[in-house]
Structure 1
Amino acid sequence: MSTSVRLTALTLGAAVAGALSLAAIAAPAHAAEGEKVKCYGVSKAGENDCANKAAGHSCATQSKVDYSGQDFKAMTKEACEAAGGSMTAFDGTNTKAKK
């Protein structure tokens, strides 16, 4: 194998390795942007995703109170903030929820 062929093979290998590294780095950042969080205080009665922080019930759609601080919907952090929700459970109902 000549020197120029070896150099070309090494260059190509480095380029592929670099491209794969960039793809691996970029993928987790993209996934984090759309990551779902538990957004409390934004669901109407019967529209929660699952469970109740205070063990009032254990399944989706079982909430009895609109905008309860104990019931959540899964959504992105940005959507939760826009809806006036909280990423931590709280007592009472959410008076800041976008109705």
Structure 2
Amino acid sequence: MSEFKSWGVTYSSDMYHGMDHSCHCGAEFPFQTQLRANLIVGFTQTAGPQRSDRGGIAIFECPKCFEYFWFHLGVSSPKVYKMFAPKWPK
């Protein structure tokens, strides 16, 4: 996964962990890869618990409340999100 570098908004332990693909304000984004990709404002592989089944952490900006939240990406997810996320560096 070394092809993916950290970029954008930096992860902070104060950010909401949207484990169910939702923001703390109640906005939900399940199973909407292209919509979620448009919300990505940052990515890192160095934050949070490191596991072989994780490809990193994506930082999202909620379109409802404009707060940041994050969740882990699977190993292949960064490639998919990079294709759709307009802010992801090419």
Normalising to structure 2: TM-score of the pair? 0.23
- Tell me which structure has the larger Cα radius of gyration: 1
Higher-RCO chain (CA-CA 8 Å, sequence separation at least 6): 2
Larger strand proportion of the pair: 2
Larger helix proportion of the pair: 1
